[in-house]
Amino acid sequence: MPLQGKHALITGGSRGIGRGIALKLAEEGVKVAINYRQNEAAANDTVMKVRERGSDGLTVQADVSRPEDIRRMFNQVKAAFGSLDIFVSNALGEIFTYYRPPLGITPEQWDKAVDSQAKAFLVGAQEAAQLMGNDGRIVAITYRPAVLTAGWQPYIAQGSAKAALESLVRYFAVALASRGITVNAISPGVTEDSVLNSFPQDAQDGLRAWHRAGWTPMRRLGTPADVGNAVALLCSEEAGWITGQVIAADGGSSLMNPDFPLEIQRG
């Protein structure tokens, strides 16, 4: 599946990781629909950068926590592109509206996380499948540490929503395999120019120092461009035999053992 001339939709594509994905696909010749919820100026700026890379794109507003918005978004993409080759489910929602610990989170806050992650992927993948021919690509952005661990207590809703998202990836991978459509997830590590930037500055500085010290073996945080590269790989023709997988694009941070200090792990 050479990417030149293909069509992609990226939710949450106006900034951060979504923008990094959009720009990498644009460099490969993909025409990109950039979804945004509120920040139209950022979405327009991303489309401008897409055009600077020799491709083209458009913006489409939708709140992905609302199924009716998702269906409207796909109708707009169909009207503009006619078909779809790549769907990237990246939008995060307003994380701090459901950033609460287990004993304090409300059902309404829980729903906000699930609606913006798992339900958004469910509806988005259903809609994308209707627009795709054979050999399409569906990619979800997850965060595997939140799925497998529980130490970050206020992340319970997001972690649970991402766990459901990863399960959906596997089910859709089986459902769409006979059509040659692959469905995978990418789990970035802590990434610059992302939700990290919404944390207090001392928390950001602490995270950077922690990972540069060796908790990410490559001794840096990831970038949106790193994630964009991983998405482009999964969208390539050569990745057509990979489906239903969660791929870590984290510089090796998921390989570290939290039971032992770095001094022991380094040997």
CATH code of the domain in which 243 resides: 3.40.50.720
Residue 264 within any structural domain of the chain = no
What span, in angstroms and rounded, lies between the C-alpha atoms of 219 and 210?
9
Q: Are 114 and 156 in contact (CB under 8 A)?
A: no
Strands, E assignment, the chain: 7-10, 31-36, 57-61, 86-89, 137-141, 182-188, 246-249
User: Is 78 among the catalytic positions?
Assistant: no
In this prediction, residue 93 carries a pLDDT of: 81
Out of 49, 99, 162, 171, the active site residue is 162
What's the average model confidence in pLDDT over 116-121? 97
Residue 148 within any structural domain of the chain = yes
Contacts of 171 (CB under 8 A, 6+ apart): none
For residue 133, is pLDDT > 80? yes
Residue 262 within any structural domain of the chain = no
What span, in angstroms and rounded, lies between the C-alpha atoms of 228 and 223?
9
Q: Is the dihedral of CA 251, 118, 39, 85 positive or negative?
A: positive
Residue 218 within any structural domain of the chain = yes
> Which DSSP state fits 253?
G
Q: Which of 17, 88, 7, 94 is nearest to 249 (CA)?
A: 17
What span, in angstroms and rounded, lies between the C-alpha atoms of 111 and 164?
13
Residue 90 within any structural domain of the chain = yes
Residue 163 within any structural domain of the chain = yes
Domain count, the chain: 1
Q: Are 230 and 246 in contact (CB under 8 A)?
A: no
Q: Are 5 and 240 in contact (CB under 8 A)?
A: no
Q: How many Cβ atoms from other residues are within 10 Å of residue 202's Cβ?
A: 8
- Percent of the residues in the chain that have a pLDDT greater than 90, as a whole number: 89
Domain, as residue range, for 61: 7-254
User: Is 162 among the catalytic positions?
Assistant: yes
How would residue 197 be classed by pLDDT, with cut points 50, 70 and 90?
Answer: confident
Out of 36, 98, 143, 155, the active site residue is 155
Contacts of 233 (CB under 8 A, 6+ apart): 239
How would residue 191 be classed by pLDDT, with cut points 50, 70 and 90?
Answer: very high
How would residue 96 be classed by pLDDT, with cut points 50, 70 and 90?
Answer: confident
For residue 1, is pLDDT > 60? no
CA 169, 110, 137: angle at the middle one, nearest 5? 20
Q: Is the dihedral of CA 66, 69, 73, 75 positive or negative?
A: positive
Residue 114 within any structural domain of the chain = yes
In this prediction, residue 23 carries a pLDDT of: 98
How would residue 266 be classed by pLDDT, with cut points 50, 70 and 90?
Answer: confident
In this prediction, residue 199 carries a pLDDT of: 81
Residue 234 within any structural domain of the chain = yes
pLDDT 10s digits, 222-249: 999 999 999 999 999 999 999 999 999 9
In this prediction, residue 108 carries a pLDDT of: 96
Burial tier of 216 (Cβ tally within 10 Å: 0-12, 13-18, 19+): buried
For residue 83, is pLDDT > 70? yes
- For tokens 């840096």, what's the residue? 220
Helix (H) or strand (E) holding 187: strand 182-188
Q: Are 243 and 177 in contact (CB under 8 A)?
A: yes
